Amino acid sequence: MNVLYERVEDPGLTHEMSVTLAKEKGGRLCTNEEIIAFLLGTSLLPKEDQWVATLSGEGKRDWVQIGNKYHTPGLEHVKKWDYPTWGDKLDDITHGKPTWQRILVWKMEEKVGGSETA
């Protein structure tokens, strides 16, 4: 599946920062469907509350839960509530100091017959 992830330090990541960092690493953000398939119905980070920047099937910005501390792994933020206030602002304290957007998950481009595909 070529999905990789890493933790980043405080203050975490906005959606735009996640897009940029994934490109710098030679990949792209995963779609909601790819993240959910990667999770295999379980938590990537047990006992943590972590949302990762993704793109919906329609190419719209979203965040998907990969922990299980407060929410079910694979929960799509936009589908459940709407786009999060903290998704573009590291200093948004609507829900307290953001500590839940510290993981980047990206998909590496795969080489197929000499050309790159996702």
Q: How far apart are CA 47 and CA 91, in angstroms?
A: 24
Residues 51-97: tens digit of each pLDDT: 999 999 999 999 999 999 999 999 999 999 999 999 999 999 999 99
pLDDT of residue 114: 54
Domain ranges of the chain: 3-117
Q: What is the mean pLDDT of residues 100-109?
A: 95
Q: Which fold has domain 3-117?
A: Mannose-Binding Protein A; Chain A (3.10.100)
The string of pLDDT tens digits covering residues 6-37 is 999 999 999 999 999 999 999 999 999 999 99
Q: What pLDDT score was predicted for residue 113?
A: 62
Closest by CA to 45, choosing from 110, 111, 99, is 99
26: phi > 0 → left, psi -120 to 50 → alpha, else beta; which? left
**Rounded Cα distance, 91 and 80, in Å:** 23
Q: pLDDT band at 116, cuts 50/70/90?
A: low
Supply the pLDDT for residue 111: 65
